Chains A and B, each alone.
Chain A
Amino acid sequence: GQNIDQPTEMTATEGAIVQINCTYQTSGFNGLFWYQQHAGEAPTFLSYNVLDGLEEKGRFSSFLSRSKGYSYLLLKELQMKDSASYLCAVMDSNYQLIWGAGTKLIIKP
């Protein structure tokens, strides 16, 4: 079967750096997405990786290793507003999105 694994919950300190990991086993690969979802709000798109390597976008970076079936989302200079759930999703060979259960990130002052 197809599976996406990510930690259920993480805690980090304001101003610090946190890395949220995502591992996947899917039937084919057509890209990996990260979405952010604040409580009670819509998930919003953060990043898309289809090639190996690091994509940087401001304080957020996303890394992909296709050979390892692995990605991470790196958040730098954490702010309280970064407290949210982070959803990892992989598009398989049929262009279907396979979702992880999300990582709830708690930022403490």
Chain B
Amino acid sequence: ETGVTQTPRHLVMGMTNKKSLKCEQHLGHNAMYWYKQSAKKPLELMFVYSLEERVENNSVPSRFSPECPNSSHLFLHLHTLQPEDSALYLCASSQAGASGANVLTFGAGSRLTVL
């Protein structure tokens, strides 16, 4: 596979469940991102990993927990979510530090519904 792959594409979970979203990039990039996309709202940056170090966004609730075991894989662990967390979660990667534009390559997203 090439590009950025996200699994699962669709997820329905109850408020007491624990689940994880997975992202894998095959582009040799050194930075990976989690974004939240809600209808008619700007993309919200949740977490960034650059050179496998986490750049934390303090406004993200602790019920979202990222993990980056290596430069190719990124996880978002979910627990005790709220219905307002229902959204499309996009993973992206880029080559941080490269000259010129820092272009993001996105995955197709994981559509999360919290009941």
Contacts and interface: CB of A to CB of B under 8 A. Distances in A.
Interface of A: 4, 8, 31, 33, 35, 40-45, 48, 50, 87, 89, 91, 95-102
A101 B90 CA distance: 15
B103 A42 contact: no
Interface residues on B, range: 10 to 19
Interface of B: 4, 40-43, 45, 90, 100-109
B106 A97 contact: no
A8 B108 contact: no
B107 A42 contact: yes
Given A31-B101, A42-B90, A48-B103, A99 B40 contact: no
A77 to B, nearest CB: 25
A5 B105 CA distance: 23
Contacts of A102: 40, 42
B40 A8 contact: yes
